[in-house]
A and B are shown apart, each in its own frame.
Chain A
């Protein structure tokens, strides 16, 4: 058991004050940054505020910036990163308190993507081969953790950009073998704040903990739009 020093950027919305808190936490080889934060909350400072639940990198709650990079705290090992550790709320979002950011902006964009199957009539029986499913496997793995938004330079200066995860989910439904909403969806992709705002930095795909490739998925939609306008 060793001790790690952790600095956390704090924010109190009621006084609008921001400051850095310093904590010393006992850690072992398999202690995650999330474990350290939970330790602080329970043993040192009840006011430290952050979101988490599953502890296994699937619920998407614990996104934060760790040593300058957007990461999931529950899968980042203390022993594997530089200490002292600096933890901050996800970049590019409004901060609600400490490490909790306001992600309602994403919830609105997600809704605009019509993230559900669109069909004229319900299919009777669905026969879909594994190969047909292939294109949606990558974008459908998104856990809505928002790391890609924190990494995206475009979203950083322009919050009207729908952003990597929402657009990647648009692509997911566009490619779905049983979906019939192609026209509608291409229109959404063509919106002035959608795919064309992406300048292909690729930071989203680098940040994604689930190997979703929003950058690629967005480029595919640009291509599809290009082709469909040729017709």
Chain B
């Protein structure tokens, strides 16, 4: 079996992973960087981000305001030192991309143009049409080609991390194209594997967002943080879950119920449609529950109205919205309402890191949606996460490179590799006549959507937890139908499902333990925020029978928690 060595191994080639790889590669040309991704980099889900990336660049704006909006958006759960570090580095990151050719939309003077976004008190969201993520991803990917010391492993799937005495030393991976099993030795590694959307039935996320990196880290003892905070975006297409970007409201779109009423005025009198996402999603949910939705075949929905923006604005600033409305919802947004319902969208939680992107395991870093610093706390503001990928991607890249310069390789032993090989090949591939993974997958999605969704309560969460445990038992009977070595997606999807079950358990467990409502975590049985007991992060550790939780106080520098009003 082949051993591959690299000073820094980056897992994931979305915005966070590519940014990290570029930073590590440019810090020292002698370092060899391995960039592993289960899909070609340009397929990473960053590509689907539409709205934009936030930073303080305009003269009318200031860092303090961006920081406070973020903290308030987070329902005061974000670590304020991390938020301050984040906002102060954000402008440089966006300007860097400009130098690397990203065609940011321009204002009259030829500078970068900003648009309004939910929860941001001024226009500070920078965009390239409504394909910002697409442009960020392709600009970074194409830029990464310049660095000869980045070696890519496209369509390779990481199956496990190898850690000894709390220090990272390697990982195992499968080359999907030919099914061969390999191991890597690395001085440092960065987890940039993105989100978890596939755990839910209705999601804006792509098929690749299965939470692999969180499960990888969790299994070797790294804690996951803030896992109970799952963001539901207010405007997804019913049934499909595909996203209509917040930019539609940022550019002036309304939300209407079946009375033709802009109902947000009752929930967020000041910010209306541009309140934080958890607020808008719950409002929509409530309108539908109280019978003020429109009837549709995927359940009731609310109307997103951009008719008054006019053809020019729609064509120029919201071309994707138009395309999606026409293609996937069959409506013409020039003169029809776009049907929308909340859709699972973003994971606030992730692998616990500090503001240096370090996990508690030496040599192991994490960045992007897979990580939790936490700057997002209980609710992420739209357009902060692309920037987060860039900021903490580059910090992780730099720190991992520095770690690699100061440390040696640790040898990965034969047994460590064989153990994993046996788990996968003997435990899964060779098993005959088991059940297919799809049944378990669909059940999992239903459970998460119904019981660990927008509105939660203790009883549902307990039921969900015990159902997930049963699914984990049943998973042991899953077998691979496709026996070929080449491009075996049956097999890869089973490995992903295995990761997803672990992640689902941590989310549900953390949600059950947080007996309050904060940001995206809304407990019907505990509808108030409870700062006295819960102004803390929950760190979830793997342990033998059920997860173990440790509490970590929130870092507060300047802003005392107050009631959140929009």
Contact = CB atoms under 8 A, between A and B. Distances in A.
Nearest to A14: B484
A43 B131 CA distance: 34
B154 interface: yes
A60 B106 contact: no
Contact of A128 (B110, B145, B324, B489): B110
B48 A14 contact: no
Given A14-B484, A59-B47, A117-B99, 4 more contacts: A30-B330, A59-B48, A59-B206, A117-B143
Interface string B97-116: 01111010110011100000
Contacts of A141: 131
A34 to B, nearest CB: 10
A228 interface: no
Contacts of B48: 54, 56, 58-59
Contacts of B42: 59-60, 143-144
Given A43-B438, A59-B43, A60-B42, A14 B101 contact: no
A173 B101 contact: yes
Given A42-B438, A57-B327, A116 B146 contact: yes
Counting chain B CB atoms within 10 Å of each CB, the highest count among A51, A110, A176 belongs to: A51
17 contacts: A13-B484, A30-B329, A30-B330, A46-B482, A47-B484, A54-B45, A58-B134, A59-B43, A117-B100, A117-B101, A126-B99, A127-B109, A129-B106, A130-B110, A133-B103, A140-B135, A144-B40
Contacts of B240: 30, 55
Interface in B441-483: 441-442, 480-482
B39 A61 contact: yes
A116 B242 contact: no
A153 interface: no
A100 B484 CA distance: 14
Contacts of A117: 99-101, 143
Nearest 5 Cβ contacts at the A-B interface: A46-B481, A53-B206, A42-B438, A115-B142, A127-B110
A56 B98 contact: no
B327 A61 contact: no
A120 interface: no
B436 interface: yes
A73 to B, nearest CB: 12
A111 B40 CA distance: 14
A100 B99 contact: no
A12 interface: yes
Nearest to B143: A116
A67 to B, nearest CB: 18
A75 B103 contact: no
B490 A115 contact: no
- Sorting the interface of chain A by its residue count into under 10, 10 to 19, 20 to 34 or 35 or more gives 35 or more
Interface string A119-131: 0001100111110
A137 B39 CA distance: 26
Nearest to B209: A53
Interface string A128-153: 11101100110011011000000000
Contact of A136 (B103, B328, B485): B103
A137 B103 contact: yes
B161 interface: no
Contact of B100 (A116, A128, A132): A116
A97 B490 CA distance: 13
Nearest to A134: B103
A41 B493 CA distance: 11
A53 B13 CA distance: 14
A52 B111 contact: no
A96 B486 contact: yes
Interface residues of B, number: 56
Interface in B37-68: 39-40, 42-45, 47-48
Contacts of A14: 484-486
B98 A126 contact: yes
Counting chain B CB atoms within 10 Å of each CB, the highest count among A49, A58, A126 belongs to: A58
A141 B487 CA distance: 29
B207 interface: yes
Contacts of A53: 39, 43, 45, 206-208
B265 interface: no
A129 B43 CA distance: 30
B494 to A, nearest CB: 9
Contacts of A130: 105-106, 110
A129 B101 contact: no
B431 interface: no
A101 to B, nearest CB: 10
A179 interface: yes
A129 B110 contact: yes
Contacts of B329: 30
B177 interface: yes
Interface in A53-82: 53-61, 75
A107 interface: yes
Interface in B143-157: 143, 145-146, 154
A52 B207 contact: yes
B134 A143 contact: yes
Contacts of A114: 145-146
A13 B481 CA distance: 17
A100 B43 CA distance: 14
Contacts of A41: 438, 489-490
A32 to B, nearest CB: 8
B22 to A, nearest CB: 10
A56 B324 CA distance: 8
A140 B103 contact: yes
Contact of A58 (B39, B47, B143, B145): B47
A116 B135 contact: no
Interface in B524-545: none
Interface in B410-441: 436, 438, 441
Contacts of A132: 110
Interface in B112-152: 131, 134-135, 138, 142-143, 145-146
A51 B208 CA distance: 10
B242 A56 contact: yes
A46 B328 CA distance: 26
Contacts of A59: 39, 42-45, 47-48, 206
Contact of A46 (B109, B206, B490): B490
Interface string B484-526: 1111111000000000000000000000000000000000000
A178 interface: yes
B136 to A, nearest CB: 12
Contacts of B106: 128-130, 133
Contacts of A107: 40, 154
Contacts of A122: 99
A54 B206 contact: yes
